[in-house]
Structure 1
Amino acid sequence: MVSALRASADVLKGGEPPDVHAIEVARNDHRTALDRWAAEQLRARRQCEEVLDGLDFDGTLRVVSYVTFVLGGNAIIAAGAPSDIGDTAAHVLRTLRAHLEAPSTVLQDSLRVAIGLAIAVFVARTLGFSHAFWVVLGTIQVLRSTALGTGRTIVLAVVGNVIGVVIGGLFAVAAGDHPALMWTAFPIAVFGAAYAATTIGFMLSQAAFTINLIIVFNLISPAGWQVGLVRIEDLLVGAFISLLVGLLLWPGGARRELARALASVYRTLVEYLDHGFDRVLGFSPAGGLDPARQAVVRARDRADAAFDTFMSERGGGAFDQDTATFLLSSANHALLGADLLEVISGVMGYQAGTCADGAQEVDDQVATLLAAYRRLADLLSLSPVTDEHEDVSLSALRQAELGCLRRWQSDATVGRGAMAVVMAGEWVQDLARLETDLEGAVSTAVEGARKPWWR
């Protein structure tokens, strides 16, 4: 694993790619050795509690090895490995479906901009503005993902343009009869407008842009400082259109949509985890691609887009960015668990059919676990929920695992079923700890999502 992790870093810098096949071979060898060790210890009449502790300790190593395997594959792709055309097409279609089948910040932002531009063009053409493009430009420049953000940007834009009109107007009056001076200032103004746009803030960039416009228009046809007033007039019209669109179309921005997108992720995760546990515990046949995973991936794509928008919103701290990051990364943690459950029952071939009693006891705790995650999803979707909920019983899980190991001690055919129960129990415990950690973050996110858009 160490060499694979180092190679994953090196390949991003042009080095040799990690040997992901070697990781997979090592994982299989380790799994075989672990089964053999457990069987030998139980035959030697070692205490089942001690054997279970050893298996639990090794479970962490197996999770880290799987993460290393996935990380290595992702590093190879990120380094520029050629991708299959079919995979690329499937990814594009999945992305389109993800943002069209349910509310998405990408779809909302696209509609907001499209409607804003359409209104700006209509107003500019109908009212016959001499510089209609500036109306459209003003709409684009100040339109943000929240009504509050749009309002703040309008203030900055107006102040910046007023500063630009004052400075540019004074210069136009002073240099109006001196073309050489105007031409000398022209490259400086162009550089200042381009430089300010990416380095010194929106307000000063607007000022620099207006100064540049005044100089350019006076070089074409001397118009003095009046061209600056036309610029402000057109900007105000465009800004009003942006504010109107921002107030009418999703004024709250991404914070509420992020909470709802995360709710969708956790809700689809519940179904995927339910299928995974059922397969490991022997209640449904293993094998085949689970459509529930595709639903999780599409929901996660929407949550990723909402998260990106949330992080870019100025003043969007209805709940802090660390909380949003934790909620999204925890969903990836749970998805990893569901994927590994599929690996356990599918590729590795472990099912708990030979220890049905233990499987049923673990399944009872699975139901409690999934109910807790459904409750988190309901909270994030701003649905009414009750405060009462049951916690997973760690002692019941341990007793179920120990019961299967005791049966294995006297019956060698129970081995793989007992290991399936142990691995399922480990993941129930891990996800239960994660659910406990999520409680506070979810409460914070829900509180922020419920705030009105002007706060």
Structure 2
Amino acid sequence: MVPVFLREVFLFDVRGASGSGAAVPQEPLRAGGPGPAGGRLLDATAGRRRGADPDPLANSGEVSPLQGASPRSGPRRSAGGPAGAVLRRLRYLLEHGRHGLRGHRSVVGNAVRVTVGSCVAFYLCRYALGLTVMSVYATFTVVALGVLARIPGSGRQRAATVLTAIPAGLALVTLGTLLAVQTWAAVLGMLVIGFVVAYAGTTGPRIAGAAPGMQLLYILPCFPPYAPDALGQRLSGFLLGAVLLALAQRFVLPEPDTPPFCRLLADAADAAADLADHHGGPLPVEALARAHRTGDALRPSRVPPADLPASPSLTHKAMAHATEGVRTLLARLEALHTAAGPHDVYHPETVVLLQGISAAAREAADALRRGKRLLPGEGPSAAALQSELNPVRAHRAVDTLERLSADDRLVYLRRRSQVVQAADCAVVLALATRLLLGDRSVERSPAGHAFAYAQSHAHQLWWQRLTTHLTPRSVIFQNACRFALGLATARAIAGLLDLQHGFWVLLATLTLTRTTTLETWSAVRQALSGTLVGAVLAGGLLALVHDRDTVYAVVLPVVMLVAFILGPLRGLAWAQGGFTLVVATLFAQVSPVTWQLAPVRLVDVLVGSLIGLACGLVAWPRGAGREVRRSMAGLCSAIADAIGHTTARVVERSGSTDIFTINRALTLAQESLAQYHCELREETARQPDWPALLVAGSDARRGERLLPGRPGRITAHEVGAWLRHAADRTAADYRSLARHLRTDGEVAWDEARPLDIRALLAVAPAIARESPDRDTRALAAALLLDSVIWLDGLTADLNRIHKEM
């Protein structure tokens, strides 16, 4: 299963680029990279291409001692003989080992923390208190939440996540203990809990990262013997393990703290203010570089997953809204300045708007840095900018209508709209900043219709997020079903066959099941080879040491540390082999075991692997490969519907906004595309420019949020008819693309048709300056041209996709 927080990295890159009018180059995630050997090979070849020379004197002009030596002199003998050579080799290995460990600080630090936490828990319970059951649960809690889980964040954030998970962990251990009374009860519980825990990852990266470890908290107690009298030891062991892990995450080689996301937002807002302070003349190179740097820092591929505003809380929704606003603001200002000539002087109206943008962005940055809760009406104000924006928008609309006769390609309109759109984004940034700092009164602002969620209760926001993926077309729903089916099947087989260590079967199913059969088969092959080697080593260790617990107690931390370092660094085979040794060393201290424990572990992993492979074949075996086209087709249909809804509200002021539909389509498309990029494939077929389609979806959503609430009304029947006709044609083009995607290209699809500007001029003549209703007609013209530039942007998105296909 692809962790949700990894997918957020991809989808937020696309989401943040929405509104830019062009697809931002993406950085698709991969499930893995080249292996260590491949990495060394790449480094070596890269060094040769750069002309790197391992001899520091080669190009220094000095003569090496070996240069000019007689060929008859032969190789020089190593000083110190064989012993000296061995010592030098050991020093070399130790030095390079230290460099390598420093380069993988996060992996080594996590291995040390888990080893310290689990060993302290095990020794305390097993040898100090003499509580065997408690020792097992305390140790496996640390391993489950520290190794199997992938909790993101700094040491402080990881510790907080572990402590927050304690109530859910207590419930899972209790349910597992009580449902172990019968196999059918345990299987039914595994089916429900497996789905719920996996599906809960939709609510944020921390929950998604902890989900695999939380699954183990139910798996461990749901096997015989049915022992409700041992529930106290089990819960105590879990509590002890969780607290020790939290302390280790916080104080033992903790992950460093990262800059708060609000500070990144503030830096980007300051950069936007600096750009807005430029009013013409030479290109502001330094301000543009800072804008690019701060905007790039907001891309989720640059932000730690734990800091991403990805949860359904009101604060995170407002933070994501502010992120979209400030990134679009930076893109608009950059386009404005780079399109102008080096000696151009901006129109006074443009200067006024730029000054208002600068003031609003700087106020937002100051409020974000202070981070204080705001009362209604406090904080950055967008009122001054809005009062300047509305007359400029109306005046420019009148002026632009007079020039459309010579501008049927909308070049002039696009250029004139840059600063107006930038001002809109600055207003959104100011209001979103106030909302994320606690001021829910933003909905009363003239632009507050874009924040319809501001008055929603927390349970409504969480319910919307949870129900978004309750459809067979969601890859998250598919993954949750696949895992629940696999775990329930594994529990049923382990119970019916009365396997000695049945939880290893479920653990193998949990850790080896992937989103495609190709990935699952690759994981199974690696796991089986690693488990086989680990079983041989474990069998030898058990046969040699036998029942001498002292030896196992001494060896355990070493085995754990090595296994938890090599597993993440060397791959799945090393991880499985190392964990097999850890399990053997641990269980040998809990109860008398023989070398036969090793082949039992191998058989259980084989059974679990086959179950995972079978479930992968039954449940969506192609992963997101097929779903990405379906979800993108659904997004095209949602864009077409949004165009129709928005146009109806602009022209007729009738109907209602269905923002949830376009939001859901965008979310499903983003999730499926992110998973597709994370999946291993035999060959990569040429794909359409999916990010451009996601940008189109964000453009459609922004128009549906903003346009119906704009001042003005299109009263002329002919103008309204033209706008409806243009919107219908654009929507029809998106529906045609949807059919093309659903049929795998069997249905032909032509390039989108440009807007018929000459037909618009025939029904929308210029507004006379002495007209008594000039102000009213100017507002209507502004609303009309805002809608035109919105439809033009959607058409441009469609043509960009067409070129890629």
* TM-score, normalising length: structure 2: 0.48
CA shift in 2, pair 1:218/1:13, >3 Å: farther
Matched, 1:294 2:660: yes
Report what 2:416 is aligned to. Answer: 58
Report what 2:721 is aligned to. Answer: 360
Matched, 1:379 2:379: no
What 5-or-longer segments of structure 2 have no aligned partner? 1-356, 441-452
Q: Say whether the 8 Å CA contact 1:190–1:212 is kept in structure 2.
A: yes
CA shift in 2, pair 1:17/1:79, >3 Å: closer
Q: Deviations over 1:366-414 (max 9, x none)?
A: 22211111122223333666425464234x2255147524254574534
Report what 2:459 is aligned to. Answer: 89
CA shift in 2, pair 1:102/1:67, >3 Å: farther
What letter corresponds to residue 27 of structure 1 in structure 2? Q
For 1:323 and 1:38, the matched residues in 2 are separated by 33
For 1:196 and 1:188, the matched residues in 2 are separated by 12
Report what 1:448 is aligned to. Answer: none
CA shift in 2, pair 1:120/1:34, >3 Å: closer
What 5-or-longer segments of structure 1 have no aligned partner? 444-455
Report what 1:147 is aligned to. Answer: 517
Q: Say whether the 8 Å CA contact 2:397–2:781 is kept in structure 1.
A: no
CA shift in 2, pair 1:53/1:125, >3 Å: closer
Matched, 1:335 2:701: yes
Report what 1:118 is aligned to. Answer: 488
| 2:391 equivalent among 12, 27, 32 | 32
Report what 2:572 is aligned to. Answer: 202
CA shift in 2, pair 1:85/1:212, >3 Å: farther
Q: Deviations over 1:409-442 (max 9, x none)?
A: 574534333333322222222111111112245x
Q: Say whether the 8 Å CA contact 2:367–2:380 is kept in structure 1.
A: no
For 1:47 and 1:296, the matched residues in 2 are separated by 35
CA shift in 2, pair 1:259/1:391, >3 Å: closer
Q: Say whether the 8 Å CA contact 1:165–1:210 is kept in structure 2.
A: yes
Instruction: Provide the secondary structure at the position in 1 that maps to 2:766.
Output: helix
Report what 1:425 is aligned to. Answer: 788
Matched, 1:406 2:766: yes
Report what 1:434 is aligned to. Answer: 797
Q: Deviations over 1:47-72 (max 9, x none)?
A: 66589976543322222333344445
For 2:372 and 2:519, the matched residues in 1 are separated by 46
For 2:641 and 2:485, the matched residues in 1 are separated by 37
Alpha-carbon deviation of 1:231? Answer: 0.6
Q: Say whether the 8 Å CA contact 1:160–1:207 is kept in structure 2.
A: yes
For 1:305 and 1:350, the matched residues in 2 are separated by 38
Matched, 1:285 2:645: no
The farther-off stretch of 254-263 and 208-217 is: 254-263
Matched, 1:309 2:671: no
Q: Say whether the 8 Å CA contact 1:358–1:403 is kept in structure 2.
A: yes
Q: What is the Cα-based RMSD across aligned positions, in Å?
A: 3.6
Q: Say whether the 8 Å CA contact 2:531–2:576 is kept in structure 1.
A: yes
Q: Say whether the 8 Å CA contact 1:20–1:69 is kept in structure 2.
A: no
Alpha-carbon deviation of 1:252? Answer: 0.8
The farther-off stretch of 10-19 and 262-271 is: 10-19
CA shift in 2, pair 1:297/1:168, >3 Å: same
Alpha-carbon deviation of 1:14? Answer: 5.5
| 2:753 equivalent among 373, 392, 408 | 392
Report what 2:638 is aligned to. Answer: 268
Matched, 1:134 2:507: no
| 1:239 equivalent among 609, 613, 617 | 609
Alpha-carbon deviation of 1:81? Answer: 8.3
For 1:28 and 1:322, the matched residues in 2 are separated by 43
Report what 2:600 is aligned to. Answer: 230
Q: Deviations over 1:110-137 (max 9, x none)?
A: 1111111111111111111111111111
Bigger relative contact order (CA 8 A; separation at least 6) = 1
Alpha-carbon deviation of 1:253? Answer: 0.6
The farther-off stretch of 146-155 and 82-91 is: 82-91
Instruction: Provide the secondary structure at the position in 2 that maps to 1:290.
Output: coil
CA shift in 2, pair 1:91/1:229, >3 Å: same
Alpha-carbon deviation of 1:84? Answer: 7.5
CA shift in 2, pair 1:316/1:226, >3 Å: same
Q: Deviations over 1:207-229 (max 9, x none)?
A: 11011112123334454432121
